[in-house]
Amino acid sequence: MSVVVAGEALIDLILRPDGTITAAAGGGPFNAARTLGRLGVETFFLGGLADDRFGHLLRDRLVADGVRLGMPDLLPLPTTLALAELDEHGAASYQFYVDNTAAPAVTDADAHGAVDASTRVLHVGTLGLLLEPMATSLERLVRDVGDDVLVFVDPNCRPRVVRDRDAYVARLHRVLARADVVKVSGDDLDYLAPGLGPVEAALALLELGPRVVLFTDGGRAVHVLTADGSFVVDVPRVAVVDTVGAGDSFGGGFLAAWMSQGLGRGALGDLDALRRATERAVVVAGITCSRAGAEPPHLSELPA
């Protein structure tokens, strides 16, 4: 059984409060794929990688973490860049440099070619649902995947990149109609449903199609919402270095825990299993927050 994680790989230029800048491998789906690979899940990354120094770095990081490439050929385009500006608390705000870069260059053939009979989970999100032609290719892939594939969506909304909010939200709604699990943050909900309280907005997402909504709220409790019942999972206090990649590693940790229980799409009504997977995801995200940059833990670092 394998997971296909589809979306962007890019370089985060991390600007710290003291003015120093460091370059780090990043991108929400890239971070999620590395998390899954480090946690021992057979994982394919579906996204464009550039044939430049940064592109080679991104490829090498994926391979080092056991992730296989859904698009093995490097592209004659520059690497996509994000400027992550950290505040004094380690929280990040982003600006993106995406035009004519490698990450969006995913065609229908690339997308459908990365999924085969072994695929049991398809994870999509972030710029993968926004930048063209990748966004259209991934929307069609979500539409076409088999009934045995669990679709996990992390919108990870980036308003500064959105040029047409109505079109973006409409596409997201179409994707969510086939989604099984959607992971959202408070920032996502503020953008998607302005004027609603976060829990109310998260509950509204269930009406679009997903079986499960995972609402993460920084250091506060995670809300797990389903049509069969809802509950919260506490988040223990950790010494935060920064929050880069925290939500991505949460999603990867959830899916790794779900698959480690031998569970698939049909088990999403099992609230006990959802609680166990969410608790594991919280641990994974907490370890990531305790480190600089998006560095999720390896399986050997987690408690038994």
The pLDDT score that the predictor gives to residue 85 is 87
If you average pLDDT over residues 218-247, what whole number do you get? 90
In 3-state terms, what secondary structure has residue 107?
Answer: coil
Task: Encode pLDDT of 78-102 as tens digits.
Answer: 999 988 788 888 777 778 899 999 9
Residue 228 belongs to a domain? yes
Averaged confidence pLDDT in the chain: 95
pLDDT at 304 over 80: no
The pLDDT score that the predictor gives to residue 16 is 87
Residue 183 belongs to a domain? yes
The model's pTM is 0.94
Question: Which residues have C-beta within 8 Å of that of residue 20, sequence separation ≥ 6?
Answer: none
Residue 58 belongs to a domain? no
Residue 38 belongs to a domain? yes
Show the domain range for 136.
2-6+28-47+106-296
Question: Which residues have C-beta within 8 Å of that of residue 64, sequence separation ≥ 6?
Answer: none
The pLDDT score that the predictor gives to residue 84 is 79
Distance CA 249, CA 75 (A): 27
Give the pLDDT band of residue 182 (cuts 50, 70, 90): very high
- Kindly provide the b/e burial profile for residues 183-214, where b requires at least 16 CB atoms within 10 angstroms of the residue's own CB: bbbebbbebbbeeeebbebbbebbeebbbbbb
The pLDDT score that the predictor gives to residue 190 is 96
Q: Is residue 147 within 8 Å of residue 178, measured between CB atoms?
A: no
Residue 53 phi, psi (nearest 5):
-60, -45
Residue with token string 């079986």: 211
The pLDDT score that the predictor gives to residue 25 is 93
144: left (phi over 0), alpha (psi -120 to 50) or beta: alpha
Residue 65 belongs to a domain? no
Task: Return the CATH number at 181.
Answer: 3.40.1190.20
Give the pLDDT band of residue 157 (cuts 50, 70, 90): very high
Residue 77 belongs to a domain? no
Question: Which residues have C-beta within 8 Å of that of residue 215, sequence separation ≥ 6?
Answer: 184, 185, 186, 189, 198, 199, 202, 222, 223, 224, 225
Number of domains in the chain: 1
Task: Encode pLDDT of 40-92 as tens digits.
Answer: 999 999 999 999 999 999 999 999 999 999 999 999 999 999 887 888 887 77
The pLDDT score that the predictor gives to residue 94 is 78
The pLDDT score that the predictor gives to residue 93 is 79
Residue with token string 């890019």: 10
The pLDDT score that the predictor gives to residue 92 is 73
The pLDDT score that the predictor gives to residue 239 is 83
* More confident of the two residues 276 and 292: 276
User: What residues does 138 pair with on adjacent strands?
Assistant: none
The pLDDT score that the predictor gives to residue 242 is 80
* Of 143, 132, 161, 121, the residue nearest 32 (C-alpha): 121
Task: Encode pLDDT of 111-143 as tens digits.
Answer: 999 999 999 999 999 999 999 999 999 999 999
